[in-house]
Structure 1
Amino acid sequence: MEQQTKNLIVGAVETLAQATGIKVVYKANVPKTGNVYPDGFVRIDYKNMHWDFAIQTKVRVTRATVAIEKTQPTLPGHDRILVTEYATPPMADLMRQIGLLFMDTAGNAYINKPPLYIFIKGNKRPENLKPAPIKRLFKPAGLKVVFALLNNPQMVDWPYRQVAAVTDVALGTVDWIFRDLKEMGFLVEMGGRKRKITNPLPLLKRWVEAYPEQLRPKLGIERFKADDPNWWKNVDIADYNACWGGEVAAAKITKQLKPEKVIIYAPEPPGKLIIEKKLRKTATGDIEILKPFWKFDHKLIHLGIAPPLLIYADLMATGDDRNIETAEIIYDNYLAQPDRHDR
């Protein structure tokens, strides 16, 4: 285990113990069981009772992080607890809402194991704790390339110039992205100019966590609102040089969701559609037009639907229970690979 991870856990455990007066003990030595690899255990003693929690560490927590952690397995007989540097009040509320136990180094925590109940939020980030820097691989340019590679694994063997052309990323930038992939354990050189993406599942999760904060905000074009909530149902979006994302895309391919928000990926606002469906431009609209950032074909393109990985990310970024449930269906149907030991 990296010293940084150990320090994070120890800091959170000590702060929680001080804040509550409850005995909290960190156990570092953890046997690996099956496909589940916790970062340790924490034992909490309260009123002649005790609980052992399997630890999962995350330096930063976003809505997508919370959604992903909600779906992860744990060791039989153990609840999971997320340990992070700092949980903002909105993140603390979200984790409590969906039932994800957590604690941070500021003393914020949610633990609900009756008769033990702890919910602390609003403690400020420690002054000596600076936000963890974002790895450049998970900044906008890196995210574009990683997205292309996850959707087209054969692209990893392409010349950098060809990758740059498909992803709209500068040639020199593609070079350091591939170097970062290698340094972070996501790529290996096979010899004979062959390469292979390794650890695709952790890479996919990291992409899903980073996309909503790093790349998505740069894609927004305009927002609209419709008087008819079902306006989208009989629209062939491909006729407007666009495709569905988010909840509408998920509803169309799973039949499991009633969309409340609409995401359309289009190079520019589809004027003809806006006029035909009487969409009104407004900053608070629930119809969002985002600019596509990919140029490759994929399995749902003929249906006018965005790549499954992007739909999954859009849903997980909401942190909404119903969307997380549907995202899991999309993951199992379109993203899981037989040779992966998933979730």
Structure 2
Amino acid sequence: MKPTHPILQKCLRQIEALPNLKAEITIAPYVSEKVLADGQLTLYTPQEKIEYICEIKSNINTQTIDQVIQYLTHFKQRLNDNQKPLLVTDNLSNKIVEDLLKKNIEFIDLSGNIYLNTSGLYLLVRRASSRLKDSLKEKDSVKITDKTLMFIFFLLQNPDRSMKFIDSEESLNKQFLNPTTLEIDKLCKLNYLEKRHGTYQIVDYLKLLERWELAYTETLRSQLFIDTFTPINNLTFPDISNLLIQRANNWEYLIGGELGAALATNYLYPITATLHVPENYTRIFVDLKLKPSSTGEITFLKKWTSLDVWKNSDNIKNSNLADPLLIHAELMMSKDERLRETADIIFNKHIKPRIYAYT
């Protein structure tokens, strides 16, 4: 059976890519007298068949991990003896992975972290990249604050205007977010900025972009996350995708994620959307006839800055798209090949020209 939830689909592919393992979703959703869960995953090894009952939990962070562990502990007690709980999630940080391992919570995430531990199978796959390791070392010495991230975002949006014509810290402060000297010094210490002949310059745009996307995945997105929603009345995502586009201007939200990427590229058939919504978002999901759901296809994130919007200099027809930096960061969180291909199109067509404008 093919799973319908995007996270479940992508995590299933992670397991199928491993040698000597066959996996299938046999029931979705899974319902019993004691349990309502997102699906039943059956694993076949050369020696045995293992049944996992899947619980999808998104955006797990240091503030929510204890609740997730407590929930899964109680969840396990409601399962049959031949069943095991499996946490299915998006992207886990090193710290969260360690917490789950200590509590023997089995899991799989979109980035390829996998922990399975049964009598006939032990599997631990860690996907910590060199970038992530570098960032952990970086945090020990120089703290990247929300204000620093916002400053980085502005630099990535406007590398030509923000760096070429700034000849002093005073001029920089007047034009962009009033960053303190401390914020500027942080980026200089981390070798993202340098001062040449009185002018600040980006050392390596791609390196700065990688740092931004890492911070977005690790911390910022979880801070902006509100909830996931699904249409009422058994409607599917394709049934309401046009409505999401039509209502964007009325409710002043920005369209990102897969739907935003589809509108920007005409390459992708979207099955999910990320909406960057204003503070008063309750009216939005009421008007769109959505209901909260842990397996929802529509994610609400708080608007981060007034410049989250895509500046319409790229001949993009829809004026309610999130900036390509946000869309690209969302797509890069996935291991799905088509989403990665779409992210490459976004980068080459809409982000790379900013680099050329700067250089």
1:316: how far off?
0.4
TM-score, normalization: structure 2?
Answer: 0.53
1:197: how far off?
1.3
1:272: how far off?
4.3
User: Deviations for 1:252-293, whole angstroms, at most 9, x for unmatched residues?
Assistant: 111222222221101225444423331112344332111122
1:160 aligns with 2:179: no
Could you say what secondary structure the match of 1:223 adopts?
A: strand
Q: Specify the alignment match of 1:220 in structure 2.
A: 225
CA contact (8 A) 1:312 1:331 kept: yes
For this pair of structures, how many residues does the alignment match?
A: 225
Uncovered stretches (5+) of structure 2, i.e. residues with no partner: 1-89, 94-100, 116-121
User: Deviations for 1:295-316, whole angstroms, at most 9, x for unmatched residues?
Assistant: 2364249620000011000010
CA contact (8 A) 1:225 1:286 kept: yes
Take 1:332 and 1:64, find their aligned partners in 2: how far apart are those partners?
28
Amino acid of the structure 1 residue aligned with 2:221: R
Q: Specify the alignment match of 2:156 in structure 1.
A: 150
Q: Specify the alignment match of 2:300 in structure 1.
A: 289
1:214: how far off?
1.5
C-alpha change, 1:320 and 1:288, in structure 2 (3 Å) is same
Task: Pick the aligned partner of 2:124 from 121, 126, 139.
Answer: 121
Q: How does 1:185-334 map to 2 (within 5 A)?
A: 185-192=191-198, 194-227=199-232, 228=235, 229-230=237-238, 231-234=240-243, 235-236=245-246, 237-296=248-307, 298-300=310-312, 303-334=319-350
Take 1:220 and 1:205, find their aligned partners in 2: how far apart are those partners?
21
C-alpha change, 1:201 and 1:90, in structure 2 (3 Å) is farther
Post-superposition, which runs of at least 4 consecutive aligned residues in structure 1 deviate over 6 A? Answer: 88-93
1:175: how far off?
2.3
CA contact (8 A) 2:193 2:202 kept: yes
Could you say what secondary structure the match of 2:342 adopts?
A: helix
Could you say what secondary structure the match of 1:303 adopts?
A: coil
C-alpha change, 1:145 and 1:138, in structure 2 (3 Å) is same
Identity %: 26
1:202: how far off?
1.2
C-alpha change, 1:247 and 1:93, in structure 2 (3 Å) is closer
Could you say what secondary structure the match of 2:185 adopts?
A: helix
1:209: how far off?
1.9
1:139: how far off?
4.4
Task: Pick the aligned partner of 1:132 from 133, 136, 140.
Answer: 136
Uncovered stretches (5+) of structure 1, i.e. residues with no partner: 1-61, 66-87, 98-107, 109-118, 166-170
User: Deviations for 1:99-124, whole angstroms, at most 9, x for unmatched residues?
Assistant: xxxxxxxxx9xxxxxxxxxx97358x
